[in-house]
Structure 1
Amino acid sequence: MSEKNHILRPGPRQAQRPDPKMTCFAAVPRGAEEIAAHELEQLGVGDVAAGRGGVSFTCNREGLYRANLWLRTASRVLVQLALFPCLSPEELYAGVYAIPWQELITPAMTLAVDCSLRDSALTHSGFVALKTKDAVVDRIREACGSRPSVDTAAPDVRINVHLSKNVCTVSLDSSGDALDRRGYRLERNEAPMRETLAAAVVALTGWDGSIPLADPMCGSGTIPVEAALLAAHVPPGLKRSFGFERWQDFDERVWKRLLREAEGGMQRLPLGLITGYDRDSRALALAARNAALAGFEGQVHFFHAALEEFQPEGDKGVVIINPPYGKRLGDEDELRELYCQIGDVLKKRCRGWTGFILTGNLELAKYIGLKASRRYVLFNGPIECRLLKYEMY
């Protein structure tokens, strides 16, 4: 393994440690790669390159912490340890064993292995994960005399193995829990939108907090809260912990400085900037609780109203709607009327505003009855969606 990939060092956590360059990969919902690449460029990391399902980049330890704290659209940040050809279980074991795991994991720590496979000779992810685990603990036992335990629920170190076209990439997952787990949404209503997808939708609208934003079908409030985090300059990772905090080389001094810097730049939202509406009282209660947990009690406002009663305040702004599209919630026949209603509300109630509809059903979208000026492809999990833009002159 090359010197630049020796990313972690053992020793006292308070000691001064070298800060080498790391090769990283931010996993991103499909369709949001360019948004995440722009986010990373704004954070000042190097060699940013968007690809399918994620963005590669290089950074030092501070850049890694900053990426986890601030990325709104990424789901994980992985730090590459090794890259090698892998056609057999023996090559997998040898490649993993060659990594100096004793520098990264002590016998007192716990670990877990995540695995993804594509177009490779090895086809069973459970077997690959088990073989990887064996190589890791054997190397540590050889060096230290004892081995770490496996904890799949809350490990100290999460190892990621990605095997694609017989090339194996072994990485450490610096995020721990997925980055969409911001810490503000404790309860989830039926078929919720992931926070990372909501952030991607807000980013694609171009909304920057200078004009109002309204969500007439807000559910548990994910889109309004993600918009609030953006407008108030609040990092989405402020209220959670990360995997790198349990690493051997964790630099608490740098991390605390980044948190202080972030807290110093946060702003209070103007009254009425962001509003959410829904006909479901339970969903609205969840939305208000989520907004409060995110730090926006009294700043993001929610109203009990059916779609046909929606009337935005002001002569211009952005309306975002994420209606059901018959994949998980609601029957397609019943939803046609809803999509007709969305078109009517945009035409009659939202003049001067810009409307955005996220749907995974283009047949239903025809019932909106308006011509979209732009279409963006996004994936809601496995469902290919379109974010449709409507200029309501």
Structure 2
Amino acid sequence: MPTFFATCARGLEPVLAEELLALNAGDIVPGRGGVGFSGDQSILYRANLWLRTAVRVLQPVLEAVVLDSDELYQAVQGIDWTKYLTPAHTLAVDCNVRDSRITHSLYASRRVKDAICDQFIAKTGKRPSVDTDRPMLGLNLHIHRDKAILSLDSSWDSLHKRGYRPILTVAPLNEALAAGLLWQTGWRGDVPLLDPMCGSGSFLIEGAWLALNRPPGLTRKHFGFMGWMDYDVRLWAEMRDEARTQTKKQLPAPIIGRDIRGDVKDFAAVNAKAAGVGHLLRFEKADVRRFQPPEGPPGIIVINPPYGERIGEEREVKILYREMGKAFAAAAVGWQVFVFTSREAPWREFDLPLVKTTPFFNGKIECHLLQFRP
């Protein structure tokens, strides 16, 4: 049975499973919104350090059917919590509830906290305190159709928060999703990568880290497991040192970002600098509707254009897609073109041969990654 569960955006489960396989995790079981896997403490640390598409890595400690908050309280009290924390620890419970008789997530999380604290008071006369910002032990409670799964959260802050994006453009693409989409294209850094509507630069930065074999968690200051009783500081330090020695210094092929807005292009460049790869990427001001390929061999074009969901945008977006398609047909021959957009967007206006469609979600929006051949 899997020991851990790594969560991800819907549609990324196969990519996340591939990542876990590369980390030598065992018992890999893709599910809905994540992948179960097994391993020791080393695998847990590697998952947090290396996984590009995961949101958080959980260690389930309780699974139970609970019909009300009292049953939840009793189930949580059945665990010996002295194995996981002491009265000197701080804790917090993050909860999500769906399609269950327990409907209030905040109340459910409070009942879990009460069950743990009451157990400590009964045993020691003291209780852990609560720190919702950075607890020493973070817990994740998921209740779906009356089935409760309570897990230790080894990540706490979402793994998609890489720390390089202080400046956000409108509707930025989630970093973990950007990494997963890049992986889905088959790009591994050996041919040029071009994003002609680069926005905040997520595709470019995630691509650079992938091409350099740089783990996304390398410079992150805190993970949830650092507050656990069995935290092995030496093991974690050795793992990060090993990762640093494996990171390349130069890109095997060019990575280029373009945008029609100079301020957006500059924002992406600032984010790339914060990610430590600004000196390796190239940013240009250019209109995708007048696309011209860069000098050198062809590679992959990946683009996340507007979806046209705002009122009054439909006509403009339809024209944009049509003009992009014409520009790619005329000037991107030999390149592979990948477009990530919503199912409702006017993507048929591209009028290019469609090679493949892969479904994904961007938040709650149904999307797909479309591969065209100019």
TM (norm. structure 1) is 0.91
8 Å contact 1:343–1:368 — kept in the other structure? yes
CA distance in 1, matches of 2:312, 2:182: 25
CA distance in 2, matches of 1:107, 1:97: 16
8 Å contact 1:119–1:166 — kept in the other structure? yes
Q: 1:187 is matched with which residue? A: 167
Q: 2:35 is matched with which residue? A: 55
CA distance in 2, matches of 1:353, 1:161: 45
Q: Which moved more, 1:143-152 or 1:40-49?
A: 143-152
1:373 counterpart SS class: strand
Superposed, 1:286-325 pairs within 5 Å as: 286-313=267-294, 314-325=296-307
CA RMSD of aligned residues (A): 1.7
CA distance in 2, matches of 1:383, 1:293: 29
Q: 2:146 is matched with which residue? A: 166
CA distance in 2, matches of 1:328, 1:250: 48
CA distance in 1, matches of 2:251, 2:77: 55
Structure 1's unaligned 5+ residue stretches are 1-20
Superposed, 1:211-222 pairs within 5 Å as: 211-222=191-202
Q: 1:336 is matched with which residue? A: 318
Per-residue displacement from partner, 1:50-81 (whole Å, max 9, x unpaired)? Answer: 01111001111110000000001110100111
CA distance in 2, matches of 1:270, 1:44: 26
Which letter maps to 1:258?
A: M
The yes-or-no answer on 1:356 pairing with 2:338 is yes
8 Å contact 2:191–2:252 — kept in the other structure? no
Q: 1:263 is matched with which residue? A: 244
Query: Which of 234, 244, 248 matches 2:229?
Result: 248
Which letter maps to 1:289?
A: V
Q: 2:256 is matched with which residue? A: 275
CA distance in 2, matches of 1:43, 1:290: 28
The yes-or-no answer on 1:36 pairing with 2:20 is no
Q: 1:74 is matched with which residue? A: 54
Q: 2:370 is matched with which residue? A: 388
Q: 1:370 is matched with which residue? A: 352
The yes-or-no answer on 1:128 pairing with 2:108 is yes
What is the CA distance between 1:254 and its match in structure 2? Answer: 0.5
Q: 1:11 is matched with which residue? A: none
| Percentage of identical aligned residues | 43
Which letter maps to 2:322?
A: C
Q: Which moved more, 1:105-114 or 1:201-210?
A: 105-114
What is the CA distance between 1:216 and its match in structure 2? Answer: 0.1
2:188 counterpart SS class: coil
Which letter maps to 2:239?
A: L
1:113 counterpart SS class: strand
CA distance in 2, matches of 1:257, 1:214: 35
Q: Structure 1 residues 330 and 112, CA, compared in 2 at 3 Å: closer, same or farther? A: farther
Which letter maps to 1:375?
A: T
Structure 2's unaligned 5+ residue stretches are none
The yes-or-no answer on 1:83 pairing with 2:63 is yes
Which letter maps to 1:143?
A: K
Superposed, 1:95-134 pairs within 5 Å as: 95-134=75-114
Which letter maps to 1:345?
A: A
Q: 2:215 is matched with which residue? A: 235
Which letter maps to 2:369?
A: L
2:5 counterpart SS class: strand
8 Å contact 2:17–2:30 — kept in the other structure? yes
